[in-house]
Each structure stands twice: as structure tokens, then as C-alpha cells.
Amino acid sequence: MQQVQLAIELVELGARIQVLESETELSRARLLKLYKEVRGNSPPRGMLPFSTDWFVTWLPNIHSSLFYNFYLQLTLVHGCQRMDGFVKAYRMYLEQMQLDGAEPVLGLTRAWTLLRFFESELLELMPCQSCGGRFVVHAHTPGQDFVCGICAPPSRAGTARRAFEGHHGERILPAAGLKVSGPAVGSPADVSGHIRGLSASRP
Ligand SMILES: [Zn+2]
């Protein structure tokens, strides 16, 4: 059954129980049981702690922007349904981190919160005036002089930035629009083309 499959996939990727309750029609009891079966322990209790601010701090912002560009590409360009696109985009994000030898900063539950913040128009994408990539910002951020965290990293970010770039200079996210590589997404040029196309077609 599709709902169960989705729930299992989400739990495997690290979803908290609130995500499952929102995105499936399965009962809480069923979800708890499922969660225990997949993870081998009970889900953590409590509310989701995330605010929009986390997504606009330097390194989380780069990761969040990459993930959300994947999501838009899958849903708007490739026609994936919302949750299908979400799960695929999250897998692409993890794959990209693996290719870059970087630690994933964006957990699945956070990625889902990000999606919800976009859907409630608390966050939006803003083109970087330097590289043209589109990055997550608070809604209603003035955009005239916006420069992203890759083009203008904070000085203390040097070490983290190198770690993020890994040993493949060409695999940093940056320049012509959040370049990404990997079998699922075509060439970097294709992707930056898609992202620019998206920015042209969205209000
Ligand atoms: Zn930039």
C-alpha cells in the first residue's frame, strides 16, 4: 500500500513522527508501530523545534537552497507529485553530499519543515546578484544587492567551506546557479539551465 511505503521511506530517511502524521493518513498507533519496526526504537517526543531563521544561516542556507532547487526541478520541471518530489529531492541531496564528501547538514525533518515554510510563504528563493543561483531567504527580503553565502562566505567559514567543497573543485554548488552533478540530474549546465528556467517561469 502506497501510504505505508511512503511512511517507511520517510522513517528510513530520518523523519520524525509529526512528518508522518501530516503526510499520511495512517493512524498514530500504526505509525508508532511502523517507526519502531524500521528504526528499532521509539520516536523522540516533543514539538518540531525549527524556525525559519535556521534556514538563512550560512551553511544551512547553502544546503537548504540546494535541496529546494532539487525539489523545484523535480516537481515543476519533471512533474513529480509533491511527496514523491520531496523524497527524491532529499535522496538527491544525500547523494550530492556523498559525492562531495560533505556531511549532510539538512536532516529530513528539517527539509520537510523547509517545504512547509515555502508553502506558507514564510520563505522564498532569491537570485544571487553574483552567481545567479537561487537561495533561500525570508519572504519579503529586499533583493537588489543580495549575494549568496557561497559568493560571500563569512570569514570564519573557510574551514567549513573547504569541507563542503570536498576535493572536487568543480563540485561546489556555486557559480552558474547551484551547479550540481550526478547521474540523476544531468550535466551541471542542464541543471543551472533548469534553475534559471524556473526562476523565469515563477512569479
Ligand atoms: Zn552567489
Could you read off the pLDDT of 32-81 as tens digits, one per residue? Answer: 999 999 999 998 887 776 789 999 999 999 999 999 999 999 999 999 99
137 sits in which H/E element: strand 134-138
Tell me which residues have their CB within 5 A of the ion that is ligand 1: 128, 130-131, 148, 151
Residues 6+ apart with CB under 8 A from 118: 68, 124
- In this prediction, residue 124 carries a pLDDT of 96
Query: Taking the model in full, what pTM does it have?
Result: 0.77
- In this prediction, residue 164 carries a pLDDT of 47
Amino acid code (one letter) for 83: M
Tell me how far apart the terminal alpha carbons of the chain are, to the nearest angstrom: 37
Which has more confidence, 65 or 1?
65
The C-alpha cell that represents 125 in the structure block: 528563493
pLDDT value at 102 more than 80: yes
Q: Give me the helix-helix angle, 28-39 and 2-12, nearest 10°.
A: 50
Report how far ligand 1's centroid is from the alpha carbon of 46 (Å): 37
**pLDDT tens readout for residues 149-178:** 988 888 765 555 554 444 333 334 433 334
